[in-house]
């Protein structure tokens, strides 16, 4: 049953990568993690601005400032991605290449998730019990650790 779910996850990541394309996935990934790092760096100064506008506890204002920074950075990265797509999608082969690379990136994300599960399997007894019967997890983890 778990292998069936993993095959569905593989198809999901593959089709998501093909549908959205490489640029979209990369810009969302970079935007999200940049947003987290920028949010960590600047949530305190921004929360002092928000605390003058909202009357809430400091933890709520800190969380809101962190969340707003992440959303702003992700939104900015998506705007850049849309403008870049308009510029480079004028050539058909570029659009096709973006979709193919998106599928490859989807496969890479799936394999990364499987390797994370294999690592979790070694460290957690419950995960070991659940994942020990999966042929996909054992195959990918064995082929990765043969080096």
- Quick check: is 65 in a domain? yes
Q: Return per-residue pLDDT of the chain as tens, 147 residues.
A: 788 988 999 999 999 999 998 988 899 889 989 999 999 999 889 888 888 887 888 888 889 999 999 999 999 999 998 898 888 888 778 888 999 999 999 999 998 888 888 888 778 787 788 788 888 888 877 766 554
Using a 10 angstrom Cβ sphere, with 0-12 exposed, 13-18 middle and 19 or more buried, the burial of residue 94 is middle
- Quick check: is 147 in a domain? no
- Quick check: is 96 in a domain? yes
119: containing domain? 2-142
Q: Extract the tokens encoding 102.
A: 């998106």
Q: 34 to each of 27, 39, 77, how far by Cα in Å?
A: 10, 8, 9
The model carries a pTM of 0.71
- Quick check: is 30 in a domain? yes
Number of domains in the chain: 1
């Amino acid at each position: 049953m778990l292998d069936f779910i993993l095959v569905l996850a593989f198809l999901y990541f593959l089709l998501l990568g093909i549908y959205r394309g490489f640029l979209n996935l990369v810009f969302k990934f970079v935007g999200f993690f940049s947003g987290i790092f920028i949010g960590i760096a600047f949530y305190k100064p921004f929360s002092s601005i928000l605390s003058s506008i909202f009357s809430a506890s400091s933890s709520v204002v800190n969380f809101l400032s962190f969340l707003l920074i992440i959303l702003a950075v992700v939104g900015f990265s998506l705007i850049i991605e849309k403008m870049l797509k308009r510029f480079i999608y004028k050539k058909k082969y570029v659009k096709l290449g973006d979709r193919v690379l998106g599928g490859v990136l989807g496969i890479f994300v799936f394999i990364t998730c499987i390797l994370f599960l294999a690592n979790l399997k070694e460290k957690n007894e419950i995960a070991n019990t659940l994942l020990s019967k999966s042929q996909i997890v054992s195959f990918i983890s064995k082929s990765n650790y043969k080096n």
